[in-house]
Structure 1
Amino acid sequence: MAPSDDRERTLEWVERVATFCGEAWGLAPITGRVLGWLLICTPAEQSAGEIADAIGASRASMTSNLRLLTSIGLVRRRTRPGERTTYYRIEDDAFEKVVRQRLASFAAFGEIAEEGLELGGEDEERIRRIRSAQRSIALLTQRVR
């Protein structure tokens, strides 16, 4: 396969990641492209400029998107001694960390739902809705243990 074909296939895959991230997670397409690129790029650490050039984005758009991906724990930023450039990479265990954080937040909501049962009083419809949320949360959290 010619290098241009390989690059085209890579960018098509990055676009598929972007589409998934938008549809499933509500992320902006550019955020999904950054994530997709960082999952597949070589070298694994890239500057904002390198990422922008690779995915055809403006360098200005990189700041907020990289900040978002860093804040949710998918991307790590670092500098190298003697350089002013910041580099970004996907952490090896990034998705595991994010999944565990999300599960912990579901578990915390489960505790809030328990309090909601007390507010439900004798209203069966309210209780049914809260119990449904509790069952779903329990199902998610039990599968991971």
Structure 2
Amino acid sequence: MRTGRALSIAVAAVAVAAGTVAIAPSAQAAGSGNCQLYDACYYYNSNESGAFYGFSRATAITTERFGGGGKGQGMLVKNDAAYVLNRNGFTLRVDYNSSNRCAYACQHIPAWTGTNLNSTLKNNNAAHVWVGNWSS
């Protein structure tokens, strides 16, 4: 009886682990053409239009390219975005420089909102970071 129960628990643990492995890649897939919950979604054009790219973590923007079709498809996200949608519960800060320091210019985008980048950051975006407290 003990061996049968232990075997059942082991099989269940393997099944759960296998399910987690199978699910994790899609949950992490916030790349070109994807804009998922909790992402910072950059759009090539103003007013949430054109090609887009979703970032799932704070980062300096380097070689990522817009996807999802539309104007801007294949263009670099760095220094080419006009609109950012914050699909996260934290305020998103978009920075002019890659250092994430807001040394020259930055723009704060409240949780769960989107906006056109201001005239300093439009086509001059280099990094972003989530700041502040969670807002539901």
Question: Could you state the TM-score of these two structures normalised by the residue count of structure 1?
Answer: 0.30
When Rg is computed on C-alpha atoms for both structures, the one with the higher figure is: 1
Higher helix share: 1
Higher strand share: 2
Question: Could you state the TM-score of these two structures normalised by the residue count of structure 2?
Answer: 0.32
